[in-house]
Structure 1
Amino acid sequence: MNVWKKIRIIASLLVILLAGYLAWQIYISLFAVDIKYVPQGDLYKTVTSPDERYTLRFYRSSGGATTGFAMLGIMEDQKTKEQRRIYWEYPCREVSVKWRRDVVIINDTRLNIWTEVYDFRLDQPIYPAK
Structure 2
Amino acid sequence: MKKKLVIIPLFILGLAGCGVYGAFFDMDRLPKGDLISEVNSPSGTCTLKAYVSSEGATTDFAVRGELNFNEENKDPKNIYWNDHERTANIK
Give the TM-score, by structure 2 length: 0.67
C-alpha RMSD of the superposition: 1.9
* Identity in percent: 36
Higher helix share: 2
Larger RCO: 1 or 2 (CA < 8 Å, sep 6+): 2
> Is it true that 1:64 corresponds to 2:56 in the alignment?
yes
Describe the SS at the equivalent of 2:32: coil
Structure index of larger Rg:
1
Q: Which runs of 4+ in 1 moved over 4 A?
A: none
| Contiguous gaps of at least 5 residues in structure 2 | 1-18
In 2, Cα distance between the equivalents of 1:87 and 1:61? 13
Matches of residues 1-130 of structure 1 in structure 2 within 5 Å? 28=23, 32-82=24-74, 83-98=76-91
In 2, Cα distance between the equivalents of 1:56 and 1:67? 24
Higher strand share: 1
| Contiguous gaps of at least 5 residues in structure 1 | 1-23, 99-130
Give the TM-score, by structure 1 length: 0.48
Pairs aligned (count): 70
